[in-house]
Amino acid sequence: MSFVILIGFGALLLMLPFAHNGELSLIDALFTSTSAVCVTGLIVKDTPVDFTTFGHVVILSLIQIGGIGYMTAVTFMALMRRQKLNYRDRLILKESLNYPGMSGIFRFLKIVFASIVIIELVGGIILSLRFWADMPFGKALWFGFFHSVSAFNNAGFSLYSDNMMGFKGDLVINLTIPLLIILGGLGYLVLLELYNYRKKTLARISTHTKIVLWTSGLLILGGMMIILTLEWNNQKLFGDADGWHKILIAWFASVNYRTAGFNTIDFSIMNDSDLFFGTIFMMIGGSPGGTAGGIKTTVVALAVIGVWYTLRGQTNPHIFRRSLSAYQINKAYAVIFIATFYVLISTVLLNESERLSFVRTLFETCSAFGTVGLSTGNGGVLSYSANFSALGKFNIILLMLMGRIGVFAFTVVIVGKAVKSRIKYAEGKVVI
């Protein structure tokens, strides 16, 4: 409900006459607000052209609050006012942050906010200095911090109409923005553990952090290899880029595949095979407790581990010398199944109602669900969603909301909490 209320409030602010240029329909205001709050980056209006400076401030505020989480932000302000929180508030905060326990949760929250300020500040300074070479200092400062906040929160909103396509071979942009995206997508718990381990105040990195780091690294490398393999000779995509710049472009695209919507290339030029692999990466998304959406890296890792040990006929799956519970692995299977169901149903409905390209529609739905923001475009500077009817845009809005809240939490809201049963039936044998 906090996300829904925030989206509605953001849409009302964007509808104000001094927040936008030209006409802005309610569905487009809701779409933009949802895309910002759910840190997605899909656009049906040209952000730098169709919104005023006030509108940009509103969008940036929605990105920041949406990335942190509304409940997390409210709780932090309560702590700053030295307001006491009851046990229920602590439980809500625990779920919002994906924190494993109740002990030390307030200290962790303060560290989270300090980390956000430091990372976004450093990123903003670096980007501002780079943009200063092309524009006045004041404008460069605004552009730098806007893109830093957008990148760290995995939003993908840009103040350039062509996103980052003008910086295709720029080393500073192609390193700074992906690193901000990665830091935001890893999750605050992982960042804190790595910091404590480096400071030698933590004896061992947890299984969770190891899984997140390995899975994220493999997915980024895998995405790069797929893009380079399938598109190496695509002259329209890479232009006159040499081997080094092709690797740089593939690196930028691979990082953004799973978590954010910045792009230095035109995805509409990619072949269907590459777009299909892209849907898989976007569905996976980032890691728990961060600013990214999707089904999460840990879910995919647990499912792969479960399948591997099942194929080997072993009943005790483990990784890094730590056992994994059957409940966790079954939950991972359930999340993947439910997420796939939602995306496929949405894609079929959109394909039947809009009568557009199936592959591009699938790419758009996966981008929305994974809160990624990449798109094959509408033929101009807008996302493919701009071609959809009001009903089609509302479908995408639901997918973005679902991906940001989490597919499991979203489904529990619909079906209700599980009821514990005291009855256990005799085991039945089923042939597989």
CB 63 within 8 A of CB 39: yes
CB 79 within 8 A of CB 112: no
Question: Tokens 């909490």 sit at which residue?
Answer: 417
Within-domain flag for 45? yes
**Is 0.85 surpassed by the pTM of this model?**
yes
Q: Give 417's pLDDT tier (boundaries 50, 70, 90).
A: low
Within-domain flag for 428? no
Within-domain flag for 376? yes
Q: Would you state the pLDDT for residue 55?
A: 93
Domain extent at residue 180: 2-415
Within-domain flag for 431? no
Residues 337-344 have a mean pLDDT of: 91
Residue 425 DSSP symbol: P
Give the rounded percent of residues in the chain with a pLDDT score beyond 70. 90
- Name, in order, each residue with C-beta under 8 angstroms of 260's C-beta and a sequence gap of 6 or more: 41, 150, 151, 154, 155, 156, 181, 185, 292, 372, 373
Q: Would you state the pLDDT for residue 432?
A: 77
Instruction: Cite the DSSP H helix spans in 232-357.
Output: 235-238, 243-258, 272-284, 297-311, 326-354
Q: Give 204's pLDDT tier (boundaries 50, 70, 90).
A: confident
Q: Would you state the pLDDT for residue 98?
A: 62
CB 286 within 8 A of CB 297: yes
User: What is the rounded distance in angstroms from the CA atom of residue 413 to the CA atom of residue 361?
Assistant: 27
Within-domain flag for 8? yes
Q: Give 268's pLDDT tier (boundaries 50, 70, 90).
A: confident
Q: Give 124's pLDDT tier (boundaries 50, 70, 90).
A: very high
Chain segment 137-167, per-residue pLDDT in tens: 999 999 999 999 999 988 889 999 888 888 8
CB atoms within 10 A of CB 8: 15
Top-confidence residue, 52 or 416: 52
Q: Is 51 helix (H, G, I), strand (E, B) or coil?
A: strand
Phi, psi of 327 (to 5 degrees): -65, -45
User: What is the rounded distance in angstroms from the CA atom of residue 290 to the CA atom of residue 404?
Assistant: 10
- Encoded tokens for 241: 């880029």
Q: Give 80's pLDDT tier (boundaries 50, 70, 90).
A: low
Within-domain flag for 176? yes
User: What is the rounded distance in angstroms from the CA atom of residue 199 to the CA atom of residue 403?
Assistant: 35
- Encoded tokens for 271: 């072949």
pLDDT, the chain, mean:
86
- Name, in order, each residue with C-beta under 8 angstroms of 80's C-beta and a sequence gap of 6 or more: none
Give the rounded percent of residues in the chain with a pLDDT score beyond 90. 37
Least confident of 51-55, 360-364, 414-418: 414-418
User: Quick check: 70 pLDDT over 60?
Assistant: no
- Report DSSP letters for 320-353, one per residue: TTEE--HHHHHHHHHHHHHHHHHHHHHHHHHHHH
User: What is the rounded distance in angstroms from the CA atom of residue 125 to the CA atom of residue 130?
Assistant: 9
Within-domain flag for 425? no
User: Quick check: 42 pLDDT over 60?
Assistant: yes
User: Quick check: 54 pLDDT over 80?
Assistant: yes
Instruction: Cite the DSSP H helix spans in 26-170.
Output: 26-37, 47-50, 53-68, 70-80, 87-97, 105-131, 137-152
Residues 186-191 have a mean pLDDT of: 82
Residue 400's nearest CA partner among 66, 158, 99 is: 66
Tell me the Ramachandran region of residue 312: left when phi exceeds 0, alpha when psi lies from -120 to 50, beta otherwise: alpha
Crossing angle of the two packed helices 171-186 and 105-131, in degrees rounded to 10: 170
Chain segment 217-229, per-residue pLDDT in tens: 999 999 999 999 9
Q: Is 20 helix (H, G, I), strand (E, B) or coil?
A: strand
User: What is the rounded distance in angstroms from the CA atom of residue 45 to the CA atom of residue 382?
Assistant: 6
Within-domain flag for 368? yes
Cα three-residue angle 75-371-3, rounded to 5 degrees: 35
Helices and strands in the chain: count of H runs, count of E runs: 19, 2
Least confident of 93-107, 282-296, 399-413: 93-107
Structural domains counted in the chain: 1
